[in-house]
Amino acid sequence: MNDLKKIGLDAVPAVGLGTWGIGGKTMPDHSKDKQWVEAIKYAINNGMWLIDTAEFYAQGHAEELVGEAIKGFKRDEVFIISKVWYTHLEREQVLQAAERSLRRLSISYIDLYLIHWPNERVPLRETLSAMQELIDKGKIRYAGVSNFDLQLLLKAREEMPRSEIVSDEVKYSLWHREPEKDLLRYCEKEKIALIAYTPIEKGSIANENFLAEIGKKYGKTAVQVALNWLIYKEPVIAIPKAEKFEHIREDAGAMGWRLSPEDYKAISDKYKL
């Protein structure tokens, strides 16, 4: 089965929970806090115990809700990813942003901390050496990047000699297959996790009849087939965002089974690069 993936030395679930929209988008929204906390707990209890959040999401409120939701779990029962925004990439800014995220999440360390977007105005070396400091102080366990193309990922690896860059989080779905040009192959060879965001195209993949037809053989839905197709590949972890309980249940059901090689190929061919 392909349900557990590697991030650094850790085993994590192949499908985790995205949180863009939980607690608001660009502004904090408190209107559904209780519901959102329950949704995150429900995802964890259904096996989606890797949570992807960021200081940018709802100006930190998404992190607060994640922090609230994980209170009842032991720290190693969840794997928390957060990200530093691209305007905070100077050394002091990174250190302070991480402290703020830790406070909002109410935890003493973040499992994986990502550079959310590259910013050529700040030398990558400066940001990554701040990330190294955070690792050395035990504030984060792993460092990674997001929205880095292969060339930039290679540069990042060079600029962080003492620690591995364990992941690149990029947009990847059946309809958006750019990572297959070179990044995916590289991640596979180098054992770097490729974290696929917007993996179900905001829910639109649910309307794909072709996937629904294939899913019938397995007792699975179009969304479950689309997610299983993503995680079929060794380095890929998918992080759909869901707050409706039936969506969370459905997304978690993308794990625990595997497409046949023939169906995997048929799907790959149908939605060409």
Ligand X SMILES: NC(=O)c1ccc[n+]([C@@H]2O[C@H](COP(=O)([O-])OP(=O)(O)OC[C@H]3O[C@@H](n4cnc5c(N)ncnc54)[C@H](OP(=O)(O)O)[C@@H]3O)[C@@H](O)[C@H]2O)c1
Q: Please select the residue that binds ligand X; options are 82, 167, 198, 228, rule is CB under 6 A.
A: 198
Nearest approach, Cβ of residue 5 and ligand X (Å): 16
Separation of alpha carbons 42 and 51, rounded Å: 12
The DSSP secondary-structure symbol of 27 reads S
Per CB under 6 A, the segment of 72-80, 133-141, 156-164, 241-249 that binds ligand X is 241-249
Strand partners, 83: 114
Per CB under 6 A, the segment of 29-37, 101-109, 130-138, 238-246 that binds ligand X is 238-246
Nearest approach, Cβ of residue 212 and ligand X (Å): 12
Separation of alpha carbons 165 and 161, rounded Å: 9
**Per-residue binder mask for ligand X (CB under 6 A), 40-79, x = binder:** ------------x---------------------------
**Of 103 and 249, CB closest to ligand X:** 249
Would you tell me how many other CB atoms lie within 10 Å of the CB of residue 121?
9
Residue 57 is among the residues annotated as catalytic for this protein: yes
240 belongs to the binding site for ligand X (CB under 6 A): yes
Per CB under 6 A, the segment of 23-31, 105-113, 156-164, 242-250 that binds ligand X is 242-250
223 belongs to the binding site for ligand X (CB under 6 A): yes
In this structure, what token pair is assigned to residue 222?
A: 């179009």
Within 143-162, the residues that bind ligand X by CB under 6 A are: 146-147
What single-letter amino acid sits at 108? S
Nearest approach, Cβ of residue 201 and ligand X (Å): 5
DSSP letter for each residue of 67-89: HHHGGGS-GGG-EEEEEE-TT--
**Of 19 and 101, CB closest to ligand X:** 19
Backbone angles phi, psi at 181, to 5 degrees: -60, -45
- Taking CA atoms, 66 is separated from 7, 44, 50, 113, in Å, by 20, 11, 11, 15
Q: Please select the residue that binds ligand X; options are 48, 97, 214, 242, rule is CB under 6 A.
A: 242
Separation of alpha carbons 40 and 46, rounded Å: 10
In this structure, what token pair is assigned to residue 74?
A: 């032991």
Nearest approach, Cβ of residue 110 and ligand X (Å): 14
Would you tell me how many other CB atoms lie within 10 Å of the CB of residue 3?
16
Active site residues: 57
Contacts with ligand X by CB under 6 A lie at 18-20, 52, 116, 146-147, 169, 197-203, 206, 223, 239-244, 247, 250-251
